């Protein structure tokens, strides 16, 4: 099987090992925009109504919400198109647009494009500036200035039930703007390895059978019953002979990340300050651990880091963060996405065959 990012831009894998992941901020030269309002959090999700929807609801939702769904064009410095995807307006007054990080990434997938343009369904084109991107969750925010279109509401993805009717809107294949497909929520809380970052899993994904095509990345997945966005379409899992399964970053994840990007231009995650290597259960006995044990081996501790202050040493084996076991399904980098600078975590460490628990107050990148 294969994982396919469904934007026209597919970022490369960024390597490296560290105690915490850090989002990057755009530094490219992009056409100026008029929005200068002070950042404020995106509005909380309203409570969803319980009323059922008739079959015509899909068409009604598509007609009402499509004007706020845009094509995002990623441009090179010379004006050529690097790729494109989709996005949607979440704050019309301040002009914020949510999309995927891989839609706005550069050709290497390690930074951002040089310039951006947003195309509305009526073919109106607006220059955009990258506010920030978070490759670890595949979320990015652009700003385009005040727009006379309704903003889409980020709903509560925890509230949507499996089987709920959903609509995906986006620029299929990069050419067919505001294509609409319908389906149901097939599952929640899914996790898949990131195509952008090694040792990172995308978590709390929403699975849907609504058809998602290349170019749909960054477009909204809308719960028909509430007309609220409950996910941002991001990738398709395909096997030979199958149509593929679509996945969207949950709206609750998107809201948290987008708020941080709007506030600070990046997402800061807590740092231990170590360099390490992973090992498998098969390798555990060579480290003096029981067969089947998993975790990471510390190879270097950054001087002056929280890890150094907590007494972590090269050669230490870390097997858990709090009560979460470190293994192939839960790499340390993915676990660390949950924490911010100043958070206190407990590390289970094996040193010279003896297990101990050490608390670390995480630092800034």
Find the catalytic residue in 86, 102, 199, 316.
102
The structure tokens 């494009």 sit at 113
Supply the pLDDT for residue 331: 85
Residues 117-140 have a mean pLDDT of 94
**CATH top-level class of 274-361:** mainly beta
Q: What are φ and ψ of residue 235, in 5° steps? A: -155, 165
Tell me which DSSP letter residue 309 carries: H
Supply the pLDDT for residue 134: 93
Supply the pLDDT for residue 37: 42
- Read out DSSP for 228-271? EEEEEEEEEEE-TTS--EEEEEEHHHHHHHHHHHHHHSS----B
Q: Which CATH number fits domain 2-33+57-264: 1.10.4190.10, 1.10.10.10, 1.10.10.1590, 2.40.10.120?
A: 2.40.10.120
Find the catalytic residue in 26, 91, 138, 199.
138
In angstroms, what CA-CA distances link 116 with 106, 185, 261? Answer: 11, 32, 17
Residues spanned by CATH 2.30.42.10 within the chain? 274-361
The mean of the pLDDT values for the chain is: 83
pTM of the predicted protein model:
0.76
102 is catalytic: yes
How far is it, in rounded angstroms, from Cα 192 to Cα 200?
A: 9
Residues 186-201 have a mean pLDDT of 83
Find the catalytic residue in 66, 68, 217, 305.
217
pLDDT band at 280 (very low <50, low <70, confident <90, very high): confident
**pLDDT one-digit tens code per residue, 29-65:** 223 333 334 455 666 655 444 333 456 889 999 999 9
pLDDT band at 281 (very low <50, low <70, confident <90, very high): confident
54 is catalytic: no
pLDDT band at 333 (very low <50, low <70, confident <90, very high): confident
Q: Give per-residue burial for 233-258: e unless 16+ CB within 10 Å, then b.
A: bbbbbeeeeeebbbbbbbbbbbbbbb
pLDDT band at 1 (very low <50, low <70, confident <90, very high): low
Residues 233-243 have a mean pLDDT of 79
123 is catalytic: no
**pLDDT one-digit tens code per residue, 143-182:** 999 988 999 999 999 999 999 999 999 988 767 788 899 9
Residues spanned by CATH 2.40.10.120 within the chain? 2-33+57-264
pLDDT band at 24 (very low <50, low <70, confident <90, very high): very low
């Amino acid at each position: 099987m294969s994982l396919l990012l469904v934007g026209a831009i597919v970022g490369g894998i960024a390597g490296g090992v560290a105690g915490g992941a850090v989002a990057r901020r755009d530094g490219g030269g992009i056409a100026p925009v008029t929005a200068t309002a002070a950042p404020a959090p995106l509005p909380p999700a309203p409570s969803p109504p319980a009323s059922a929807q008739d079959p015509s609801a899909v068409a009604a939702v598509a007609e009402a919400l499509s004007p706020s769904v845009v094509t995002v064009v990623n441009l090179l410095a010379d004006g050529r198109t690097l790729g494109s995807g989709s996005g949607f307006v979440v704050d019309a007054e301040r002009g914020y647009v949510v999309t995927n990080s891989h839609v706005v990434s550069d050709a290497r997938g390690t930074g951002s494009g040089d310039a951006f343009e947003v195309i509305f369904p009526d073919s109106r084109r607006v220059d955009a500036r990258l506010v920030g991107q978070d490759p670890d969750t595949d979320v990015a925010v652009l700003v385009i200035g005040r727009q006379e279109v309704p903003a889409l509401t980020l709903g509560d993805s925890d509230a949507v039930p499996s089987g709920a009717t959903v609509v995906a809107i986006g620029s299929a294949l990069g050419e067919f703007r505001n294509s609409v497909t319908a389906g149901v929520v097939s599952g929640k809380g899914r996790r898949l390895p990131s195509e952008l970052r090694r040792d990172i899993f995308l978590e709390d994904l929403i699975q849907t059978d609504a058809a998602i095509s290349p170019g749909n990345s960054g477009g909204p997945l809308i719960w028909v019953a509430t007309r609220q966005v409950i996910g941002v379409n991001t990738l398709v899992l395909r096997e030979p002979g199958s149509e593929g399964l679509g996945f969207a970053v949950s709206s609750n994840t998107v809201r948290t990340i987008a708020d941080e990007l709007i506030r600070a231009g990046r997402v800061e995650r807590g740092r231990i300050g170590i360099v390490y290597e992973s090992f498998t259960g098969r390798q555990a006995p060579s480290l003096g651990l029981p067969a089947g044990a998993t975790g990471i081996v510390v190879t270097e501790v950054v001087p002056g880091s929280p890890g150094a202050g907590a007494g972590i040493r090269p050669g230490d084996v870390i097997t858990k963060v709090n009560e979460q076991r470190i293994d192939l399904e839960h790499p340390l980098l993915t676990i660390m996405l949950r924490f911010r600078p100043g958070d206190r975590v407990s590390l289970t460490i094996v040193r010279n065959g003896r297990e101990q628990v050490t608390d670390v107050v995480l630092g800034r990148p």
